[in-house]
Amino acid sequence: MAIVEVKVPQLSESVAEGTLLTWKKKPGEAVAIDEILVEIETDKVVLEVPAPSAGVMAQLVKNDGESVVSEEVIARIDSEGATQVSPLEVKAVADVPAAPAAAAAPASTSKSDVAMPAAAKLLADNQLGVADVAGTGKDGRVTKGDVLAAVAGGAAAAKAAVPAPVAVPVAAKAALPAVAAPVQQKLGDRPEQRVPMSRLRARIAERLLQSQASNAILTTFNEVNMAPLMEMRKRFQDKFEKEHGVKLGFMSFFVKAAVAALKKYPVLNASVDGNDIVYHGYFDIGIAVGSPRGLVVPVIRNADQLSFADIEKTIAQFGQKAKEGKLSIDELTGGTFSISNGGTFGSMLSTPIINPPQSAILGVHATKDRAVVENGQVVVRPINYLAMSYDHRIIDGREAVLGLVAMKDALEDPSRLLFDI
């Protein structure tokens, strides 16, 4: 028998611990190498834990819903084990109650002293009795996984543990939810549900409160006539998609316009570190993306060096990964400036909250036809309201307003972006 330990992957320095979601394998079940055994939720991403070896799941050291840290052992695999006990073997034991499990085990009429056939052989091979191992099978029967756990941890330790293996009996799993489930109170026609926050939601709440408490947040607004941009997009979107294999959206223009403004007003791209202002000589733009788990902000690295097609492809990949919960910690770390597009959901106006330690964020909203005045005439134009929140500790109103105007100018005349003016 060769035991292989399953460990928690190395987490980022900014991630202290994670939470085990639902185990996909139980003790005694066959495991294929690289098969996903469980997922670990952190405050940023969900990590998949693959099997480091093929074999049989011997022991679950950590249960569903428990907290874990980097490199912690969460399970053990018997790399030389056979497949799980067949239903026929289970039925054979169930039909012969109070039968001795092995010659080495004392006779007993209690079901808790019965070992499964595969477990009985292991008991004999390791010179253990049924009484030396705490059973977690039906009615307390000793399973192969129980014996493997006892051998791995020492027979004495396994006997003293309550219970020795951490694997939860099937009956207990049916009664206890994998991760704290919603608690619904029956209050007649006024029901309530109490749902614990996920790690991601708790982290979002913590960072938003941190931002509000530590930054002197002020928001400036402006409106953009999107007609020139919409016309350009309409002219080139078919050719763009054929050439690059991705649709031409508006976000790439917002990213490019933001980078252009940040170059002109570097303090918008800076951050505060104690009593110092850190000016970043690169442009890593965070894009707020909604996911089933909550809001995440993956980062487009070196956005100033990317083409429109590169930006659109990156954003599309982020959206898909967020939907599947596949964003990596590296993709969610860092960023010097963020863009939040509430217009996707129909928002007309909002005041976005800064993503610490950044000092500014751009809020984009839904483009709607509105009556505006041009050359003394009331005309209808597709208008988008932009909002930029900034940290007034280091960014004065002048830089904030002029920075937003620079974004407005670039969007209303997209040719500026081609000539960097």
Final residue belonging to a domain, choices 55, 78, 101: 78
**Which is catalytic among the residues 139, 238, 276, 396?**
396
Q: Is 403 within a domain?
A: yes
Q: Is 244 a catalytic residue?
A: no
Cα angle value 281/320/68 (rounded, 5°): 80
Which CATH number fits the domain that encloses residue 27? 2.40.50.100
Final residue belonging to a domain, choices 38, 54, 78: 78
Kind plus residue range of the DSSP H or E element containing 44: none
Q: Is 396 a catalytic residue?
A: yes
pLDDT, residue 178, reads 47
Q: Is 335 within a domain?
A: yes
Are 255 and 339 contacting, i.e. CB atoms less than 8 angstroms apart? yes
For 10-36, give the DSSP string.
PPPTT---EEE---S--TT-EE-TT-E
Q: Is 230 within a domain?
A: yes
Q: Is 409 within a domain?
A: yes
Strands 360-364 and 337-341: parallel
pLDDT, residue 189, reads 80
CA atoms within a 13 Å half-sphere pointing along the CA-CB vector of 317: 13
142-189 pLDDT, tens per residue? 776 777 777 766 644 444 444 444 444 444 444 444 445 555 555 568
Coil, strand, or helix at residue 60?
Answer: strand
Final residue belonging to a domain, choices 57, 78, 99: 78
Q: Is 130 within a domain?
A: no
CA dist 201 to 44, 47, 181, 292, Å?
Answer: 9, 16, 15, 11
The size of the chain, in residues, is 421
Q: What are phi and psi of 55, to 5 degrees?
A: 150, -140
**Which is catalytic among the residues 280, 392, 409, 413?**
392
In whole angstroms, give the CA distance from residue 372 to residue 381. 7
pLDDT, residue 44, reads 66
Q: Is the pTM of this model over 0.75?
A: no
Q: Is 179 within a domain?
A: no
Q: Which residue has the tokens 């009331």?
A: 378
pLDDT, residue 149, reads 74
Q: Largest Cα–Cα distance in the chain?
A: 102
User: What is the extent of the structural domain holding 414?
Assistant: 203-418
Q: Is 152 within a domain?
A: no
Are 323 and 298 contacting, i.e. CB atoms less than 8 angstroms apart? no
Orientation of helix 117-125 relative to helix 87-94, angle to 10°: 90
Which CATH number fits the domain that encloses residue 313? 3.30.559.10
Q: Which residues of the chain have pLDDT under 70?
A: 1, 12-15, 43-44, 81-122, 127, 137-139, 141, 144, 152-188
Q: Indicate the number of domains in the chain.
A: 2
- What are the strands, taking DSSP E only, across 51-178? 55-60, 67-68, 73-78
Ordered alpha helix ranges (H), 186-275: 199-214, 227-244, 251-264
